[in-house]
């Protein structure tokens, strides 16, 4: 699916939590300037649909919705213009609703049973969340043995410091995280730090995959 290809190319999925939808455009600009053409805007705040709307028309940035935990939120995310849906867990009705909308869905799956459920729903890409708690890189490596066809997007506790331990795995297609988009980085309205941390993350991610 083309949408997931963009994620694979970016190697990174910034997990964005916005309180003010007015921050969406400057944050999107900062990510693009930093070389990350993807943003996962989480439904943890009420600002999510408006923030997604503000970014949806762009052709330099792929915007998706994160923390989507109900079919109704899938509808709202897609209405707002989300091009992909990310969920912390695996709920078949959430997956099916996204599929009905023909929108890419990356559900959370960390156990063999959850991965098998994802496969049974026609998916081959899952979010491994919270990655640091559910066994980190060694768990993803071990799951790769029975599930060689599954691609993982570890998220939760991924940082500039441990990015290499995840992205160096062949079954990890991208890493998700908030370290380059933390609200504290742009609380004063200056998004420079987002761009700088994004640039550093992109450079590190490319190097890791080249050497993997």
Ligand X SMILES: O=C(O)C(=O)C[C@H](O)[C@H](O)COP(=O)(O)O
Q: Which residues bind ligand X (CB under 6 A)?
A: 15, 42, 66-67, 86, 88, 129, 155-158, 176-179
Minimum Å gap between C-beta 131 and ligand X is: 8
Q: Which helix (H) or strand (E) holds 153?
A: strand 151-154
Q: How far is CA 194 from the centre of its chain?
A: 16
Is 199 an active-site residue? Answer: no
Q: What are phi and psi of 23, to 5 degrees?
A: -80, -15
User: In whole angstroms, how large is the CA radius of gyration of the chain?
Assistant: 16
Q: If DSSP codes are grouped into helix, strand and coil, which group holds residue 126? A: strand
Cβ distance to ligand X smaller for residue 35 or 107: 107
Is 114 an active-site residue? Answer: no
Residue the block writes with tokens 């156990």: 111
Residue of 40, 161, 199, 209 with catalytic role = 40
Cβ distance to ligand X smaller for residue 45 or 155: 155
Minimum Å gap between C-beta 177 and ligand X is: 4
Cβ distance to ligand X smaller for residue 198 or 210: 198
Q: CB-based contacts of 197: which residues, under 8 Å, 6+ apart? A: 34, 160, 179, 180, 185
Q: CA-to-CA distance for 54 and 184, rounded, in angstroms?
A: 21
Cβ distance to ligand X smaller for residue 77 or 158: 158
Residue of 19, 72, 93, 127 with catalytic role = 127
Output the 3-class SS for 2-39.
HHHHHHHHHCEEEEECCCCHHHHHHHHHHHHHCCCCEE
Q: CB-based contacts of 9: which residues, under 8 Å, 6+ apart? A: none
Minimum Å gap between C-beta 145 and ligand X is: 25
H-type helices in 121-169, by residue range? 136-143, 163-167
Q: Which helix (H) or strand (E) holds 201?
A: helix 192-211
Cβ distance to ligand X smaller for residue 58 or 182: 182
Residues catalogued as catalytic: 40, 127
């Amino acid at each position: 699916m083309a949408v997931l290809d963009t994620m694979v190319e970016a190697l990174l999925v910034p997990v964005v939590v916005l309180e003010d939808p007015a921050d969406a455009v400057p944050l999107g600009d900062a990510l693009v300037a930093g070389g990350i053409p993807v943003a996962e805007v989480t439904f943890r705040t009420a600002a999510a649909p408006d923030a997604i709307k503000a970014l949806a028309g762009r052709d330099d940035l792929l915007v998706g919705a994160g923390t989507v935990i109900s079919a109704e939120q899938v509808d709202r995310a897609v209405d707002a213009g989300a091009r992909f849906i990310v969920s912390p867990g695996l709920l078949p009705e959430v997956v099916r609703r996204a599929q009905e909308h023909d929108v890419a869905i990356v559900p959370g799956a960390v156990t063999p049973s959850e991965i098998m459920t994802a496969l049974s729903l026609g998916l081959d890409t899952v979010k491994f969340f919270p990655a640091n708690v559910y066994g980190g890189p060694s768990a993803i490596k071990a799951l790769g043995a029975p599930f060689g066809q599954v691609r993982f997007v570890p998220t939760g506790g991924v940082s500039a410091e441990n990015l290499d331990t995840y992205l160096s795995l062949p079954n990890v297609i991208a890493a998700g995280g908030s370290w380059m988009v933390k609200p504290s980085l742009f609380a004063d309205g200056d998004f420079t730090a987002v761009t700088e941390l994004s640039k550093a993350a992109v450079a590190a991610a490319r190097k890791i995959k080249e050497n993997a």
